[in-house]
Every structure is written in structure tokens, then in C-alpha cells.
């Protein structure tokens, strides 16, 4: 069983995915840890990634999802998944993938990013991420969760909805 917690930078993907994995007795992975060094350097310099940069990384993330599926382990991965075609790449590796889209207003996201000190993604990249974001399609297996909720409520809502997704 594979779950991708997706959204723009500052939405809480890593925090929520780790808490969700713990609640489900699963394994947590952060797709950011799978980025090639060149991608990290580009983002740290405030340069948005191109699809040519993203596709090899998304295939690596997909391989991690497929490996988890082979091991029959609940795996929760924090991954931006901003565009439908990116999520399609992940679904190629994990067809039963469940997506959790963490959604929130630009002001809240900017506030969160301004408070982060130890992340390679600068706050200046938020606008490009928001413009790239494509909401979940009706045919995508997923839920949308409001990031304004406290963490325990977000995890509880995902777990409750998980049974219905």
C-alpha cells in the first residue's frame, strides 16, 4: 500500500507523512532525499526545476513505491506531485497509489516558509509552485486536506478517509 502526501513547499508534507506513517504502522520516506544533487543545487539557487530535471527523480520515487509494494509494507512518501503528469509517473510504478493533497492559502504557506531555516527550497519559489500545482482530478485516488488544521486532526482525517478512498 502506497500513499503520497503531496503539495507545495511549506504545506507540511514531511511532517504529515511521517506522522501518518507512524499512525498506520508503516514506513516514511521523503522524496526530497531522493533528488540528485544537481536538482537540490538548482532549487537552493531559486531556479525552478524543469520537467527534464524532475522526470528521472520521479522515476526514482516510483521505484521506491514499487519496492514498498513488493515488500507489502504501507509506505508513505512526502513528494510535491504538483502536476498530473508527475503523479502519472508515480502511478506507473504504484497503480493503487493513494494521494493526500495538503492544500492551503498562499498567506499561510508563505508564513510557514518564512519560518523555516534548514530547507533548500527558498520562499521565493512558492509562487512558481502554486502556479504549477494541478489539483487532483476526479479520477485520481486521493483526498484533499486543509493544512490549517492541527497535525493530529490532519492525520485523523486522513486515516478516517483512507477507509473510503
State how far the Cα of 62 lies from the Cα of 160, in Å rounded to an integer: 26
State how far the Cα of 114 lies from the Cα of 69, in Å rounded to an integer: 36
- Please answer whether residues 18 and 33 qualify as being in contact, where contact means their C-beta atoms are separated by less than 8 angstroms: no
- Please answer whether residues 79 and 31 qualify as being in contact, where contact means their C-beta atoms are separated by less than 8 angstroms: yes
State how far the Cα of 118 lies from the Cα of 127, in Å rounded to an integer: 20
Full residue range of the structural domain in which residue 132 is found? 2-162
The residue to which cell 531522493 is assigned: 34
What was the pLDDT predicted at 165?
A: 46
Alpha carbon distances (Å) from 84 to 33, 90, 91, 92, 135: 22, 10, 10, 12, 8
Half-sphere exposure at residue 82, Cβ-oriented, CA atoms within 13 angstroms? 18
Q: How many domains does the chain have?
A: 1
The 8-class DSSP code of residue 8 comes to S
pLDDT tens for each residue of 28-81: 999 989 999 999 888 888 787 888 998 999 999 999 999 888 888 899 999 988
What CATH number does the domain containing 10 carry? 3.40.50.300
What was the pLDDT predicted at 125?
A: 66
What was the pLDDT predicted at 16?
A: 97
pLDDT tens for each residue of 89-127: 999 999 989 999 999 988 888 787 775 555 445 555 677
What was the pLDDT predicted at 42?
A: 87
Task: Give which of 3, 8, 1, 15 is closest to 106, Cα–Cα.
Answer: 8
Amino acid at each position: 500500500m502506497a500513499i503520497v502526501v503531496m503539495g507545495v513547499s511549506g504545506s507540511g508534507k514531511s511532517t504529515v507523512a511521517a506522522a501518518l506513517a507512524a499512525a498506520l504502522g508503516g514506513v516514511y520516506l521523503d522524496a526530497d532525499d531522493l533528488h540528485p544533487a544537481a536538482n537540490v543545487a538548482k532549487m537552493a539557487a531559486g531556479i525552478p526545476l524543469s520537467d527534464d530535471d524532475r522526470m528521472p527523480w520521479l522515476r526514482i520515487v516510483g521505484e521506491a513505491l514499487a519496492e514498498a509494494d513488493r515488500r507489502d509494507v504501507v509506505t508513505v512518501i512526502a513528494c510535491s506531485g504538483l502536476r498530473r503528469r508527475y503523479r502519472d509517473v508515480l502511478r506507473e510504478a504504484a497503480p493503487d497509489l493513494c494521494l493526500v493533497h495538503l492544500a492551503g492559502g498562499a498567506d499561510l504557506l508563505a508564513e510557514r516558509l518564512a519560518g523555516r531555516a534548514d530547507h533548500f527550497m527558498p520562499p521565493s519559489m512558492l509562487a512558481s509552485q502554486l502556479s504549477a500545482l494541478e489539483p487532483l482530478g476526479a479520477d485520481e485516488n486521493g483526498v484533499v486536506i486543509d493544512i490549517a488544521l492541527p497535525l493530529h486532526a490532519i492525520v485523523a482525517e486522513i486515516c478516517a478517509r483512507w477507509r473510503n478512498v
